[in-house]
Structure 1
Amino acid sequence: MSESPRFVVLVPVKTLALAKSRLSGLPDQRRQELAAAFAQDTIAAVLDTPAVDRVLVLTDDFRFADKLAQAGCTVIPDGAGDDLNSSLVQAAADARRRWPGLRPVAVTADLPTLTSHDLSDALAGVPDGPAYVADHVGSGTTLYTASYDEFAPLFGNDSAVEHALSGARAIEGDLPTLRLDVDDVGDLGRALVLGVGTFTAAVTGRA
Structure 2
Amino acid sequence: MQNRTVQTDLVVPVKALPDAKSRLRGVVRPEEHAELVLAVLVDTVTAAAEADGVRRVLVVSSDPAVASVLAAEGFECVPEGRSRGLNEALRHGAALLRQSDRAGQIGALQADLPALRSTDLAEAVKTADGRRAFCADRQTTGTTLLLSAAGGPLDPRFGVGSARAHAASGAIALTESWPSLRCDVDTAEDLAVARDLGLGRRSAELLCAMAACPIDC
On whether the aligned pair clears a TM of 0.5, the verdict is: yes
Q: Is the 8 A contact 1:54 1:73 kept in 2?
A: no
Partner deviation per Cα, 1:24-56 (whole Å, 9 max, x = no partner):
423222221111111000001011112111111
Write out aligned runs for 1:21-170 (5 A): 21-25=22-26, 26-79=28-81, 82-147=84-149, 148-170=151-173
Distance 1:185 1:79 in 2: 32
Distance 1:99 1:65 in 2: 24
Task: List alignment gaps of at least 5 residues for structure 1.
Answer: none
Distance 1:171 1:195 in 2: 22
Tell me by how many angstroms 1:4 deviates.
4.2
Structure-2 residue corresponding to 1:177? 180
Q: Is the 8 A contact 1:141 1:160 kept in 2?
A: yes
Q: Is the 8 A contact 1:24 1:185 kept in 2?
A: no
Structure-2 residue corresponding to 1:19? 20
Q: Is the 8 A contact 1:51 1:120 kept in 2?
A: yes
Task: List alignment gaps of at least 5 residues for structure 2.
Answer: 210-216
Tell me by how many angstroms 1:127 deviates.
4.2
TM-score between both structures, scaled by the size of structure 2:
0.88
Partner deviation per Cα, 1:55-102 (whole Å, 9 max, x = no partner):
111001113212213333221102256421121112111111134343
**Among 196, 204, 208, the residue aligned to 1:205:** 208
Does 87-96 or 23-32 show the bigger shift? Answer: 23-32
When the two structures are aligned, how many residues end up with a matched partner?
207
Tell me by how many angstroms 1:14 deviates.
1.5
Distance 1:158 1:187 in 2: 18
Distance 1:171 1:29 in 2: 38
Q: Is the 8 A contact 2:10 2:54 kept in 1?
A: yes
Distance 2:100 2:153 in 1: 18
Structure-1 residue corresponding to 2:7? 6
Q: Is the 8 A contact 2:138 2:183 kept in 1?
A: yes
Does 184-193 or 20-29 show the bigger shift? Answer: 20-29
Distance 1:66 1:135 in 2: 29
TM-score between both structures, scaled by the size of structure 1:
0.93
**Among 190, 199, 205, the residue aligned to 1:187:** 190
Distance 2:136 2:36 in 1: 23
Distance 2:84 2:48 in 1: 24
Once the two structures are aligned, what percentage of the paired residues are identical?
A: 37
